[in-house]
Amino acid sequence: MPERNIEFGKYGARGLKGHEAVARQLDALAGYIATPVTARRGLMARLHYLTRTDHARAAARAAGLTVTDRTLRAWLDGARSPSRKNLERIEQAYRTVRRENVARYLTARLNREGRGTRVEIHPLNQSQVDRPRQRVVEFRTLNVRRWDRIVAAWAADDDRALDDAWIDQVVDLGSQWGQYEYVTNVGFAA
Amino acid sequence: MTDFGAIDALLAGARKEVALPPAEERRTLREELNLSRPQLAQALGVSPSTVAGWESGRDPSGEVRERYAYFLQGAKTKLAAAAMATFEDVGDEEPQEAPGSDAEPAAGQDDDVDVLVVPQPCVLCGQLARHQVAGFPQHLDPAECAAPGTPQPAAPAVSAPTASVSAAPAPARPAAARGGQGVRIVAAGRRVQPEDAEPDLIRQTVTQVLAQHAGDVEAATAALVKRAIPDVMALLDHTRKGGRYDIVAHPWLPDILRKQSARGADQIWEARPKWTRPELPAGAHEVTALDINGAYLSALKTHLPIGQLEHSTGNHHDRRRAGVHLITPPVWDHDTVLPNPIGNRDEPGPLWVTEPTLRLLLRLAGPKYGLCDPPEIHESWTSGATEGLLEKLRVVLKHARDRAIGEGDDVTLEYVKQMYSKFVSTLGESNYNRELYRTDWMHLIRSQAFTNLWWKAHRAYDEGLMVVRAMGTDELHLIGDWRTVFPEGRGVTEVKVKDVYTVGSDRNQTDTAPGSPS
């Protein structure tokens, strides 16, 4: 099985795409505000993050928070509260800006001046597959030295680019890399 | 034959303690020879802070005392003779017999051969010998040595080949290194090698940091505390070399092991004891608060899950697996004399406990103790388990701790303590240690420490003592002659007295109390 899977899950295997697991781990490392945007505390924290400087305001606008300054001030004063649609926009803009801000530092930490970071790849879950169709898929580790493309694609929220960047690394696992296109978990630390 | 050799070695070892010059003189002697503390410490095989201690009034004991006395004696004669100082270092002093020079002078040379002023009995054959290797008097030439059938272990792999050619005593040295009691060996691939051949990471680090801070003990301790976490992770990697199982640092974990919010806790109940005996018999009692030494260090030996945790249901416990279990705890009827094994939990109903707690409950429910009903297991997240995963790490840390205590080396002691305690506390989702995310292990190790404390309480109770309190990880308050039950000391199997206090008052005093003016 050297290539990508065509019909994943046909016999009951379960897992998620490697790049999704990577994005999830990068999200965990980025450390977003824990309180949800629907709570006042979480909303205020996000608005403060997006309006602290002119640079942040510009980034928020570029990320899709296209409301007037007057509206923003009203939200911050508590005179008005954002509609549900605007709450979603705030959340989206916050995550985008946060990713962009964090990306540079995350790349540096993961590259570790060229030494790279050890990545653990936990294989897909075969517990629901019939016994004869189960295969031995081992736990593997991999040292990823260049994270620039992966982190850049994650910061841009570009699934396709992230998938490509990740598969480029996974290919280093050898001819069996297709077994690791879907995984249970991808673990690494920064 | 070797038995006699061992006896001879023992006799040779049983000598009277040699006299040392006063503390200030020791320092002067060393400084006049232009020797630094780390240099001397390396030659003596102790840490620089230990040497600093000796120079400020502490006294060494045992073999190291004789070596130190020998150094001081040699320094004195050398200065007295006021001869041309051709030697820079006692470690570099070469015996006359050694032909040629070593490829690596001081760094690679770990067998320090010294010439003895007074001939002493050889540790191998018992005849008088004029040389000593690493502080042990012995013959350099095997032909001279009358001990036949001496085992000839392979030369340590670390020493350069030229060194083993030039130094004929090399074969005899590992046997002598433990005073003839045998060589500690460790597995190295398909072969074995002497334990000394492995680099001692802890001592190396301590020596290096002390040298960096020029022997400033406080600054060095602070620096070592700061690097304890990365160092213990490096030590863990080192001890896992050749191990059977990989350490998985970022496993997939079920939701019960994940924190519910950023600051919240997960759902695992670690069964931390916090128990106080409800009442004592009348009269005055002297309570001793005991402290268990290195509780978390001992708790590193526990059944830890190796692979990914798998879910199972049903009231069944597999002894070869470990993990977390959802149980309904049994009723505990002995709260007046012994703590509840699941700690003081107010909330009724099923709870997630870890493997050590479950094993404790099952054992107590067994025929030998019969203290409670067996717990009912509803669900489990388990994986195949082993006790040996952190065992080598534990042993390395324990040896370092024991040696530091024996040598009075506070720097190493504090460093080792920081290493194991921070290892346990940052094993989970800690930002201070991002190399390992094993929340499950963290809970299991902590629970094991609590379980160990519970068994100590039970043992005291079993021996007829009165258990007054069991708290936290390592605190036990007892009434009675506890010295018959627990040895006192600083080792991990021993206990330390934290506090002694009196509770209640004698009947006579309470009778006279109303009469007294107050």
Whether chain B has a CB inside 8 Å of the CB on A20: the answer is: no
Q: Which of A109, A130, A161 is the last residue of a domain?
A: A109
Q: Which of A89, A109, A129 is the last residue of a domain?
A: A109
DSSP lists the bridge partners of residue A182 as: A17
CB atoms within 10 A of CB B150: 19
Q: Would you say B82 and B90 are in contact if contact means Cβ atoms under 8 Å apart?
A: no
* A115 and A105 in a common domain: no
Q: Say what the pLDDT of residue B517 is.
A: 42
Of A34, A120, A127, the CB nearest to B250: A120
In a domain, A2, yes or no: no
Judging contacts by C-beta atoms under 8 Å, the chain B residues touching residue A186 are 250
For CA atoms B348, B353, B356, B358, the dihedral sign is: positive
Whether chain B has a CB inside 8 Å of the CB on A30: the answer is: no
Q: Which of A93, A109, A125 is the last residue of a domain?
A: A109
In a domain, A35, yes or no: no
Q: Say what the pLDDT of residue B106 is.
A: 39
Judging contacts by C-beta atoms under 8 Å, the chain A residues touching residue B261 are 34
- Whether A66 shows a pLDDT value over 60: the answer reads yes
Q: How near does any CA of chain B get to the CA of A35, in Å?
A: 9
In a domain, A10, yes or no: no
Scan for tokens 């690394």, then name that residue.
A169
Three-class secondary structure assignment of B290-324: EEECCHHHHHCCCCEECCCCEEEECCCCCCCEEEE
Of A34, A186, A187, the CB nearest to B262: A34
Whether chain A has a CB inside 8 Å of the CB on B261: the answer is: yes
pLDDT tens digits along B340-390:
999 988 888 999 999 999 999 999 999 999 999 999 999 999 999 999 999
Top residue of B240, B252, B311, B432 to mutate, by most chain A CBs within 10 Å, is B252
* A135 and A100 in a common domain: no
| Of B430, B364, B415, B394, the residue nearest B295 (C-alpha) | B394
Q: Would you say B341 and B375 are in contact if contact means Cβ atoms under 8 Å apart?
A: no
Whether chain B has a CB inside 8 Å of the CB on A189: the answer is: yes
Provide the domain count of chain A. 2
3-state secondary structure of B176: helix
Q: Please, what is the end-to-end C-alpha distance for chain A in angstroms?
A: 32
In a domain, A142, yes or no: yes
- Whether B518 shows a pLDDT value over 70: the answer reads no
Q: Residues 420-459, chain B: which have Cβ within 8 Å of A?
A: 434-435, 437
pLDDT interval class at B13 (50, 70, 90) = low
CB contact under 8 A, B308 and A184: yes
CB contact under 8 A, A122 and B434: no
pLDDT tens digits along B392-406:
999 999 999 999 999
* A174 and A129 in a common domain: yes
Q: In a 10 Å sphere around its CB, with 0-12 CB exposed, 13-18 middle and 19+ buried, how is residue A183 labelled?
A: buried
Scan for tokens 């020791």, then name that residue.
B26
Within 8 A by CB and 6+ apart from B334, the residues are B371
Whether chain A has a CB inside 8 Å of the CB on B244: the answer is: no
CB atoms within 10 A of CB B448: 26
- DSSP letter at B17 equals P
Q: How near does any CA of chain B get to the CA of A148, in Å?
A: 20
Provide the percentage of residues in chain A whose pLDDT is more than 90.
Answer: 91
Top residue of B236, B237, B250 to mutate, by most chain A CBs within 10 Å, is B250
pLDDT interval class at B101 (50, 70, 90) = very low
CB contact under 8 A, A187 and B251: yes
- Strands B304-305, B376-386: pairing is antiparallel
Within 8 A by CB and 6+ apart from B161, the residues are none
* A97 and A118 in a common domain: no
Instruction: Specify the DSSP element, H or E, that contains A143.
Output: strand A140-144
Looking at chain B, which residue has its C-alpha nearest residue A15?
Answer: B252
Which CA distances in Å does B436 have to A118, B125, B236, B248, B440?
A: 12, 52, 11, 8, 11
Whether chain A has a CB inside 8 Å of the CB on B15: the answer is: no
Whether chain A has a CB inside 8 Å of the CB on B3: the answer is: no
Which stretches does DSSP call E strand in B314-424? 321-328, 351-354, 376-386
In a domain, A1, yes or no: no
- Report the alpha-carbon distance of residue B356 to residue A160 in Å, rounded: 46
Judging contacts by C-beta atoms under 8 Å, the chain A residues touching residue B251 are 122, 185, 187
Q: Say what the pLDDT of residue B105 is.
A: 40
Range of the domain at A168: 16-30+111-187
* A135 and A120 in a common domain: yes
Q: Say what the pLDDT of residue B10 is.
A: 72
Q: Say what the pLDDT of residue B107 is.
A: 39
* A116 and A182 in a common domain: yes
CB contact under 8 A, A187 and B437: yes
pLDDT tens digits along B174-208:
444 444 567 777 777 788 877 666 678 899 999 99
